[in-house]
Structure formats: structure tokens, C-alpha cells
Amino acid sequence: MKLELERLELAFQFVFLFDSSGSAAAVEASSIVRQRLEARRREVLSCLDSWCASANNRVGGVHGDSDAIVADLVARITDSLRSSVKKVFEFESDRGSGFSGKDNSGEGGFEAWESPVRDAYSRSLRDRLTPAAAREAMDPLWRCVCEIFDEADESVAQAVEMAREAMQRAPETDRVTAALAPTWPAHRQAATDRAILRLGRSEIIAGRSPPKWVVHHGVNLAKRYSTEKSPAFVNALLDKILRQVTAPAAADPPASESVADAVVPGADDPTPPPT
């Protein structure tokens, strides 16, 4: 799925908010993201209308295959718009301290998308399409934009559901991680690590994505949002969880394989990670 990684990261943010601020904060955050998407949808469709109206006044004859020209424009808009839509999913963050909900879509987002695509659109319509062909080009372009935003909106809904499932499984996940790392139970973990572990285990159980993919991107979330020692800690725990979930009938590993004393760099430091 095209927004699978963004959906996982958004779900992680919702889990963090569920844990740190309660369900109301997470629901509010999802509403904020959806409001951003709807505002951007209206903005982009309005741009398409204005571009087409402007180009219709300046078009010449057809020079080449009009279907190919339109297909190229759809591809340009799709690639550029998908990249900018991802910005709507991002919350401003400080390592280990949470998410502000600031809209990051401005810098490198829709404003950066609009100018080069508008120029390509206008040049193609002006120089290569008749007025009739320019009007026909609006249909596939309009559908393209709507599909991208519909997909993004559905990803928000799925991210909320993923977060809810992770929080429903949280007590069990906390017991599992405490057994694997007795010196680092949930209440001593960094809040970001706890959210990643809860979401990661829930997604491994749910099976929506390949489990190794979940582990890999869980570690990347720890690198991006948590402490310096967190990626190794998250990697070891999620790897052990993956083995438990995918081979539940296997015998328990020997004590020497326990995460408790081995996987956290500096685990002998009595100071817990920041919460």
C-alpha cells in the first residue's frame, strides 16, 4: 500500500497520545489530520480548475498523442502530490518528548508541489492540446487527485484503528516486555519506546504487514523519535516478540538469551530512559 509506512508512523503517534494524554487527545489529533487533508483537497482541486481555465485561453493545436500528454501530466501530479500529502501526516516532534500536532505540510509540501506542476500543466495545455482536449484532461486529473486524498483519509482511519488495537493489547504487551527485559518494565521505558513496542507487537499479531517489516520500521521510529540507546533496545525486544508470535509453541529461550541484561547499551546505568 502506497501510504503504508506513513500510516504506521501516524499510528505510532496516536499510540503515544493515547498513552500520554488519553483517548480524547488521540481522537483530536486524527481530526486535525483529516481537516488538513480536506483543506488541501479543496486547495488542489481549485488549482486544477484555475490552471485549466487559464490554459484554455492559450492552447494551440495538438502536437503528438493527447492521451500520452494527459497520462504524463497525471503521472507528474501523482508523484508530486503523493509526496506532499505525506507531509500532512507528520507531527512536529522533539526526541523523546512527544508531538505538537504542528502542520508540517508547508515547507516542502503543497506550496513546493504547486509551482512546478502548474508550470508543466500549463505548458502542456498551452503548447500541445486543443481546448477540447484540455477540458477532457480535467477528468483523469480530477480523479487522480480524489483517489490520492481518499487513500490518505482511509489511512488516517486505519491508523486510528491500529492505535486502538495496540492500546487494547497494551497490558499484555507490557507483561511480555517485562518478562523479556525485567530491568526495563513499561513504566521505566521511554514513552516513545513504550509506544513503539505496543504498536509493533500489536501489528505483528494483526499480520497486516510482514512482521520483519514491522520490526525494521519500529527500529527506524526509535532512531527518529527516541533516545540514542533506544534502537538497539526496541530491535531486540521486537525481534524476541516476533519469534514468540510466529513460533508460539517453541520452548522458552535459555536465560542467556534474555533481553534483560544484554540488549540495552549501558543497561548497568541505573538511570532509566526519559519518560
**Phi/psi class of residue 42: alpha, beta or left (left: φ > 0; alpha: ψ in -120 to 50)?**
alpha
3-state helix, strand, coil in the chain (%, to 5): 70, 0, 25
The pLDDT score that the predictor gives to residue 275 is 41
Q: Which domains can be identified in the chain, with CATH numbers?
A: 4-167 (no CATH), 170-257 (1.10.940.10)
The pLDDT score that the predictor gives to residue 95 is 47
Question: If pLDDT is split at 50, 70 and 90, which confidence band does 169 have?
Answer: very high
Structure-block grid coordinates of residue 2: 502506497
- Model confidence at 193: pLDDT above 80: yes
Q: Which of 17, 40, 190, 164 is nearest to 101 (CA)?
A: 17
From first CA to last CA, the distance across the chain in angstroms is 33
pLDDT > 70 fraction of the chain, expressed in percent and rounded: 65
Calpha distance 62→271 (Å, rounded): 71
Please give the residue that has the higher pLDDT: either 98 or 53.
Answer: 53
State the DSSP H helix or E strand holding residue 93, giving kind and residue range, or none if neither: strand 93-94
3-state secondary structure of 23: helix
- pLDDT (tens digit per residue) in 220-249: 999 988 888 999 999 999 999 999 998 754
Question: If pLDDT is split at 50, 70 and 90, which confidence band does 262 have?
Answer: very low
- pLDDT (tens digit per residue) in 11-48: 998 898 888 888 887 888 888 888 888 888 887 787 77
Identity of the amino acid at 237: L
Q: ∠ CA 80-199-35 to the nearest 5 degrees?
A: 45
The pTM assigned to this predicted structure is: 0.73
Calpha distance 212→237 (Å, rounded): 13
Please give the residue that has the higher pLDDT: either 4 or 266.
Answer: 4
Calpha distance 73→76 (Å, rounded): 5
Question: If pLDDT is split at 50, 70 and 90, which confidence band does 138 have?
Answer: confident
- Which class for 22: exposed (0-12), middle (13-18), buried (19 or more C-beta within 10 A)? exposed
- pLDDT (tens digit per residue) in 194-212: 999 999 999 999 998 899 9
Q: ∠ CA 241-169-157 to the nearest 5 degrees?
A: 110
- pLDDT (tens digit per residue) in 50-68: 766 665 555 555 555 677 7
* Strand ranges inside 25-154, DSSP E: 93-94, 98-99
Residue 93 φ then ψ, to 5° = -135, 155
Q: Are 105 and 88 in contact (CB under 8 A)?
A: yes
In whole angstroms, how far apart are CA 251 and each of 5, 132, 205, 262?
33, 70, 19, 20
The pLDDT score that the predictor gives to residue 2 is 56
Question: If pLDDT is split at 50, 70 and 90, which confidence band does 127 have?
Answer: low
